[in-house]
Chains A and B, each alone.
Chain A
């Protein structure tokens, strides 16, 4: 037990080689937990939306369809991989890898409980933004390289949407930075301990802007225009099949989980909860994460899709002014409190 404690919280007491092994073990644990969540997030989505629409969702594979994600994975793994003859092959190959790379790497700066974070860097929040911008490349390159009309239009729409909402998202978190005085996500969580309910109440406006932008950044309903199936088939991944399609699909869910974790860490107090749960320091984080993910599904089952001009108007004419207002308000209040 002491050995494990030392390895997780005080790795510097070991030699560099052991430290690298500890880092590797931590990273593998985090990636493993993440992939497990992605797998069952798909099942959770189909089940919850099924019940919201008064049907059962997957029921056949295993008890209550519990083995459905595994069956899906096996199917996609053995599917033929069709590469369109007119595609730009190297870019077509690399695009899904970029998407999954960006999502998975972003998880490295998220603290799961006090002291447990794969990479405890000072610019954690900035790194998350960098990775979420990289994710846009996967989408745009996939749309371009497929050389198909649906993919092209999906990629074009997506790039405009993602960059528009990235500004709103970047500005919505400035208030959090002002209150926490740090970009390190663990520091941000610690700064929230002084406030009941974290930064949710003092930064309610910022949280609203962040949530709307998070839905747009992850291409989820009501902002899933890049993959609006009624007009664009599957948008930027129309031409992708088999395992390559699966990578895009996994990347979307990873994006959703990362965005939820950023929201929880910056606004809802991260790993802290109303009371401590013994032996499970990460319990509150995961409870909040499941609530967030459920919220994503709930919104998907409730709201219709936005029109493209409405989407751009919302981002530019409402969210950006609101985010700036939040920054000015936070600054004024902080100045007045200081006297």
Chain B
């Protein structure tokens, strides 16, 4: 039946299938032609030619956790700004002042994190 409009998200599904097919297909096709001659030395993780010492997954700096937490806060802020930005013209002055207040409150936390040296890596 002509005139029937499909969901605009359908092409994304099609492209996802093509992309997955490309990724997996090229690997599977390669499997058929490439050699496979493993021996224990070849399968060692690379460490400049020496046998690896220690486990690679040791404890790492707590800084990475702090960055991850700050990321969550600021990413939520960014997502919160999107609907406001898209409807900026319709919302008018009231919403603008509201959003400035929101950013100002967030800035307090930002300055606090800065003063606590959360952004220092030395």
Contacts and interface: CB of A to CB of B under 8 A. Distances in A.
Interface of A: 12-16, 19-20, 23-24, 26-28, 30-31, 77-86, 93, 96-97, 100-101, 103-105, 107-109, 118-122, 126-127, 144, 146-152, 156, 159-160, 163-164, 166-167, 170-171, 174-175, 177-178, 181-183, 233, 238-239, 242-244, 246-247, 308-309, 312-313, 316-317, 320, 324, 327-328, 331, 334-335
B42 interface: yes
Nearest to A86: B45
Given A23-B14, A328-B100, A13 B120 contact: no
B103 A328 contact: yes
B66 to A, nearest CB: 10
Interface in B71-115: 71, 74-75, 78-79, 81-82, 85-89, 93, 96, 99-100, 103, 107, 110, 114
A160 B64 contact: yes
A334 B12 contact: no
B34 A78 contact: yes
Contacts of A119: 8-12, 15
Contacts of A183: 82, 86
Nearest to B114: A317
B23 A97 contact: yes
Interface residues of B, number: 71
B31 A81 contact: yes
Nearest to B88: A178
A178 B85 contact: yes
B45 A148 contact: yes
A20 B43 CA distance: 45
A11 to B, nearest CB: 8
Contacts of A328: 100, 103
Contact of A15 (B2, B43, B107): B2
Nearest to A117: B11
B12 A84 contact: no
A101 B19 contact: yes
Nearest to B107: A324
Given A12-B5, A19-B6, A181 B30 contact: no
28 contacts: A15-B2, A19-B6, A20-B6, A20-B14, A23-B11, A31-B22, A77-B26, A78-B35, A81-B34, A84-B43, A84-B45, A85-B40, A96-B27, A97-B27, A104-B18, A108-B11, A148-B45, A148-B52, A156-B60, A164-B71, A178-B85, A183-B82, A238-B46, A239-B46, A309-B122, A313-B121, A316-B70, A324-B103
